[in-house]
Amino acid sequence: MAKVVLITGASRGIGRACARLAGACGWSVGVNYAGNEAAAAEVVRDVEAAGGRAVAIRGNVAEEADVTAMFETVETALGPLDALVNNAGVLGPKSMLADMPAARMKHIFDVNVFGAYLCAREAARRLSTSRGGRGGAIVNISSAAARLGAPDEYVDYAGSKGAIDTLTIGLAKELGPEGVRVNAVRPGLIDTDIHASGGQPDRADRLGMTTPLKRAGSAAEVAEAVIWLLGEESSYVTGALLDVAGGR
């Protein structure tokens, strides 16, 4: 029986690459998305074309009712959950903190922090052995920004990813005895739509040139680390913050 993973924000970018690789590696995949139904449907088709099973689920990770419904839909469609990739995330336009509207900061923390905590909570409820679960794995998508701070661009986003690192450290200790490993991947400059959503479509390529590896990374390169952390190959790894950032 294939193992089941729910990936938030899996219609585009890093989440999509994780969904495709997970499907190719034999996982059944819950493909969460916020609004882009066509993109999510394409990811489902990709997984099915590789011989796997997948279901697309619309839901805002920052809404508790959406999150609980999303987990229920995945388990109804694909079977009991084995893993979560806590990937959905947003950033705002480049800005100094002094110029940031409160609504923008609240949105960043709602999606990146509250949303990730809600999804981790739902996974903990389902996976923990003392609650009838079978154990499993959670991979949180943090960012190199958590240690760099993203000055002059988005310190709100960087702080939200610092919270993800701390969630990973605490939850790994809380859930280790429950048979659940919890790790984070901290991508660097990865070529996805997120930079355009922050008003800088060329950001990954431009700043990627300044990294030791002299280029931006691809979503597929991040997915390799994520899928490794989901699987038995990383069975003694928990509480780790794994940089996939080209040395940045």
- Catalytic residue list: 157
d(C-alpha 186, C-alpha 29), whole Å:
22
Of 109, 104, 87, 91, the closest CA to residue 11 belongs to: 87
Query: CB 94 → ligand NAP: shortest distance, Å?
Result: 14
Of 66, 88, 112, the closest CA to residue 19 belongs to: 88
Query: CB 179 → ligand NAP: shortest distance, Å?
Result: 26
d(C-alpha 66, C-alpha 71), whole Å:
9
Query: CB 84 → ligand NAP: shortest distance, Å?
Result: 13
Query: CB 158 → ligand NAP: shortest distance, Å?
Result: 10
Q: Which residues contact 96 (CB under 8 A, 6 or more apart)?
A: 152
Binding mask 174-213 for ligand NAP (x = CB under 6 A): -------------x-xx-xxx--x------x---------
**Residue 166 binds ligand NAP (CB under 6 A):** no
In the region spanning residues 92 to 151, those forming contacts with ligand NAP, defined by CB under 6 A, are 111, 115, 141, 143
**Alpha carbon 247 to chain centroid, angstroms:** 21
Burial of 131 (0-12, 13-18, 19+ CB in 10 A): exposed
Q: Is the CB of 139 or the CB of 141 nearer to ligand NAP?
A: 141
Kindly list the residues in this chain that would bind ligand NAP in the complex (CB under 6 A): 8-15, 32-36, 39, 60-62, 87-90, 111, 115, 141, 143, 187, 189-190, 192-194, 197, 204
